[in-house]
Amino acid sequence: MTTQSTALYYTGLAPGVPLAREPFARARQLRLQLRYHADRYYNDDAPVIGDGQYDTLLQELRRLEDAYPGCRNPDSPTQRIAGEPSDGFTQVEHPHPMFSLGNAFDRAGLEAWHRRVTDLLDGQSFRMVAELKIDGLAVRLAYRSGRLALGATRGNGHTGEDVTRNLRTVRSIPLTLSGHPPADLEVRGEVYLPLDSFRRMNEERERSGAPLYANPRNTGAGTIRQLDPKVTQRRNMQMWAYSLNDTGAAPLPASHWAALAVLKSYGFRVNPMNRILDTIDEVCAFYNEMLERRHEWNYEADGLVIKVDSIAQQNALGVAGREPRWAIAYKFPAERATTLLKDIIISVGRTGSLNPQAILEPVVVSGATVQHASLHNEEDIHRKDIRIGDTVIIERAGDVIPQIIGPVDADAPGRERPPVFRMPDNCPECKTAIVKADDDAMHRCPNAACPAQFFESLKHFVSRNAMDIDGLGEQWCRILIDRELVADVSDLYGLTAVQLTALDRMGDRLATRILTNIEASKQRPLARILFALGILHVGAEVAELLAARYDSIDKIAAAGIDELTEIDGIGPRIAESIINYFAAASNRHTIDGLRQAGVKLWHELAPVDASALPWQGQTFVITGTLEGMTRREAEAKVKALGAATSSSVSRKTNWLVAGASPGAKLATAERLGVPVLDEPGLLAMLAKPEKAGVQDDAEPAAEDGPTPEVTQIGLL
Ligand code: IVH
């Protein structure tokens, strides 16, 4: 070892400490050194040694651990090794809900928030911490005795998935904490796929002719939900830590700014852009600077998060619905770019709709290469006056599919009489004549047996929110159709291991996984099956309504229009579509096939004796956007327990359930003293339905009564 490299190797050890000779001591030294260098590299962005030197140290440690297995330690950087793929993730409940944020889109919105906070704090002044809002995936990390014990996704804010094995491969998540952490610690942060990794992945896909990934956020989220941690490891995911949460194990710092410093001292990567600010002017100046610099970083930020710094003030402000009052997202405007509209292609959706899609000259918009944009229908194309060959303005906001705003110059020379886009007369796949109903914006292929429709139907049938046949991805759906193994969704249930393993690149493991998941799908709830069938206008919500009213698919098939439209939320258009679906012989054939295969097409209905239901006599108003369910689903759930729902808040209202952006109803409820639940609060009550009745004994709501705070957890 040369003197120079010895000096480098000492970095991270106390000055004058010699290299240990004894293997166990040297292994410990190496772990410390590697931790130090990883910290400089990932957390400070200021590496002290090169990658090669880091690897040499890592190899030395690996050799030592191989030779002396006793000195291997679960927290060693050599153990950041991805394990074997798993079959799925376990659900984990978050001890404190993971909230979302209200938005401000301009200075006025920010000022309104600032005024509200000042009012609620009775005029007290408050400091603010401004952070970049990272466009990634929120995770919760639990540390026990300084070791990473659990890493979970946010999920619906109440329940997420245990993705610890994948998060262990993220090098900026410490496996063991530095400093003196309490025995129990909870940290939240945003995990993201670095833009350079994303670009590299897409370059590889381009070379191999595979379809490109749309944006880093979705690809990153997919990477964390990968069943094979080796894939996660290869993609070099990173995390910015942004909150330290109470577990009761130790007192928390009194300010968020101090908490960020503590996080850093434990070895977390804390964004160096974070600022502590006093005034709205300062926040706006910082916003403008960040907006200008947003492309400098190796990650996407879609705005700032402004947080009240003092934890005491945060607690005093509390939470409204599922958004803390003490924080707000100050969003960056959607980014625009111009590019050439090369073509408009038509794909056939599962309901036969002809979906126009813009093919663009690839262009980078806010970090993602855009080469497709959605065009909703023929009318949309005409309204925007978009023509092939135009240079068009495209806009991309966060993870939303890029939209075409319109041509850059509608008066460009040569544009006077170009061919205006028209939908084809015949289906591009099966050549059946296209139909267009007056009350439908879409042109449709009416042929239920159209192969393009069937491909989409099959993809939908197996998808996560439908029959959830994991492992049977898009490519396999295509192959099963091409090999004529599946011509109807019910054919899935006749597939055999021999048939599957005969397919190119289908191993025994995958075949077993697919067959196991197909078998499991036979027991999916009735609502899922109804949704999976892909009946026009029957989305997840309507499927829930049908399943709440009927106990079998046969009863739904037999229902007439009057009976169906009696269901709150089902109008004549939906009812007609349901009737048409069951009238078609091909669909009846599918249902028979599913029945013969043993798919459960019925369920026990909830008891109908309303007086026996626990929430009988209670009235709920549900407002705002809920995360894990639609408002209608929430209403169906409370009604199933005997409660009534109403669209306006009055003194008779027993509970207001407030999702995001709850609007005026929340203020009315607060004024009338109606208890307010957020979504996790509702879920908790649904889980223990007998608890809703406690309201009965409460004091009647008083006009100027105190504001009840049902879910008051002053934490992120
Ligand atoms: S604070 C108060 N800080 O934004 C609850 N969130 O819309 C929010 N996010 O789910 C947590 N960067 O995934 C916070 N610096 C940051 C953030 C951040 C990104 C995400 C987070 C959250 C979402 C809320």
Q: What is the domain-level CATH number for residue 171?
A: 3.30.470.30
Show Cβ contacts of residue 451 under 8 Å, excluding neighbours closer than 6 positions.
429, 430, 481
DSSP category for residue 538: -
Are both 280 and 350 inside the same structural domain? Answer: no
Kind of pairing between the strands at 323-324 and 159-161:
unpaired
Domain end call among 352, 374, 407: 407
Give the structural domain span for 675.
Answer: 610-691
CATH number of domain containing 641: 3.40.50.10190
Regarding the beta carbon of 131 and ligand 1, being less than 6 Å apart is answered yes
Which atom of ligand 1 is nearest the CA belonging to 326?
2
Averaged pLDDT, groups of 10, the chain, 716 residues long = 39 64 85 80 66 79 85 75 62 90 94 96 97 95 95 89 92 92 94 93 84 82 84 90 86 94 96 97 98 91 96 94 92 90 92 92 82 89 90 79 87 69 92 91 88 92 92 93 94 96 92 95 95 91 91 95 89 92 92 96 75 81 85 83 84 88 85 86 82 42 32 30
CA of 99 to the centre of ligand 1 (A): 8
Q: Pull the structure tokens for residue 115.
A: 């005024």
Q: Pull the structure tokens for residue 713.
A: 């957890």
pTM, full prediction: 0.57
pLDDT at position 701, please? 35
Are both 592 and 615 inside the same structural domain? Answer: no
Measured by CA distance, the residue closest to atom 21 of ligand 1 is: 138
Kindly tell me the burial class for residue 166, based on how many C-beta atoms sit within 10 Å of its own C-beta (0-12, 13-18, 19 or more).
buried
CATH number of domain containing 374: 2.40.50.140
Are both 340 and 311 inside the same structural domain? Answer: no
pLDDT at position 282, please? 98
Are both 198 and 286 inside the same structural domain? Answer: yes
d(CA 172, CA 238): 6
Q: For tokens 């909150």, what's the residue?
A: 243
CA of 285 to the centre of ligand 1 (A): 21
For every residue of 37-72, DSSP letters joined together read HHIIIIISS--SS-HHHHHHHHHHHHHHHHH-GGG-
Diameter of the chain by CA atoms?
89
Regarding the beta carbon of 113 and ligand 1, being less than 6 Å apart is answered no
Are both 218 and 312 inside the same structural domain? Answer: yes
CA of 551 to the centre of ligand 1 (A): 42
Instruction: Indicate the number of domains in the chain.
Output: 5
CA of 97 to the centre of ligand 1 (A): 13
The sign of the torsion formed by the CA atoms of 535, 538, 539, 541 equals: negative
Are both 517 and 566 inside the same structural domain? Answer: yes
Q: Is residue 403 one of the residues assigned to a domain?
A: yes
SS3 annotation, 284-325? HHHHHHHHHHCCCCCCCEEEEEEEECEHHHHHHHCEECCEEC
CA of 255 to the centre of ligand 1 (A): 17
pLDDT at position 543, please? 93
Regarding the beta carbon of 521 and ligand 1, being less than 6 Å apart is answered no
| C-alpha closest to that of 308 among 128, 124, 117 | 128
Regarding the beta carbon of 190 and ligand 1, being less than 6 Å apart is answered yes
Measured by CA distance, the residue closest to atom 6 of ligand 1 is: 133
Q: Is residue 420 one of the residues assigned to a domain?
A: no
Are both 363 and 391 inside the same structural domain? Answer: yes
d(CA 7, CA 15): 10
Are both 244 and 358 inside the same structural domain? Answer: no
CATH number of domain containing 461: 1.10.150.20
Measured by CA distance, the residue closest to atom 18 of ligand 1 is: 133
CATH number of domain containing 21: 1.10.287.610
Cα dihedral 68, 74, 75, 80 in deg (nearest 10) = 100
Domain end call among 276, 296, 331: 331
Q: For tokens 């069938």, what's the residue?
A: 533
Which atom of ligand 1 is nearest the CA belonging to 131?
15
Measured by CA distance, the residue closest to atom 13 of ligand 1 is: 138
Regarding the beta carbon of 134 and ligand 1, being less than 6 Å apart is answered yes
pLDDT at position 378, please? 92
Question: In this structure, how many other beta carbons lie within 10 angstroms of the beta carbon of residue 2?
Answer: 7
Regarding the beta carbon of 244 and ligand 1, being less than 6 Å apart is answered no
Q: Is residue 655 one of the residues assigned to a domain?
A: yes
Are both 68 and 162 inside the same structural domain? Answer: no
342 is known as an active-site residue:
no
d(CA 597, CA 494): 7
Are both 73 and 108 inside the same structural domain? Answer: no
The sign of the torsion formed by the CA atoms of 227, 233, 235, 241 equals: positive
CA angle 413, 416, 418 (to 5 degrees): 105
Q: Is residue 555 one of the residues assigned to a domain?
A: yes
Q: Is residue 414 one of the residues assigned to a domain?
A: no
Regarding the beta carbon of 320 and ligand 1, being less than 6 Å apart is answered no
pLDDT at position 4, please? 36
Q: Is residue 535 one of the residues assigned to a domain?
A: yes
CA of 1 to the centre of ligand 1 (A): 47
Regarding the beta carbon of 133 and ligand 1, being less than 6 Å apart is answered yes
Are both 548 and 507 inside the same structural domain? Answer: yes
Measured by CA distance, the residue closest to atom 9 of ligand 1 is: 133
Q: For a substitution probing ligand 1, which of 153, 156, 190 has the most ligand atoms within 8 Å of its CB?
A: 190
Q: Is residue 95 one of the residues assigned to a domain?
A: no
- 3-class state of residue 360 by DSSP: strand
Instruction: Give one word for 175, left, alpha or beta, with left for phi > 0 and alpha for psi -120 to 50.
Output: alpha
d(CA 90, CA 92): 6
For every residue of 648-687, DSSP letters joined together read S--TT--EEEE-BS-THHHHHHHHHT--EE-HHHHHHHHH
Q: For a substitution probing ligand 1, which of 305, 328, 330, 678 has the most ligand atoms within 8 Å of its CB?
A: 305
Q: Is residue 64 one of the residues assigned to a domain?
A: yes
CA of 138 to the centre of ligand 1 (A): 7
Are both 347 and 320 inside the same structural domain? Answer: no
pLDDT at position 415, please? 67
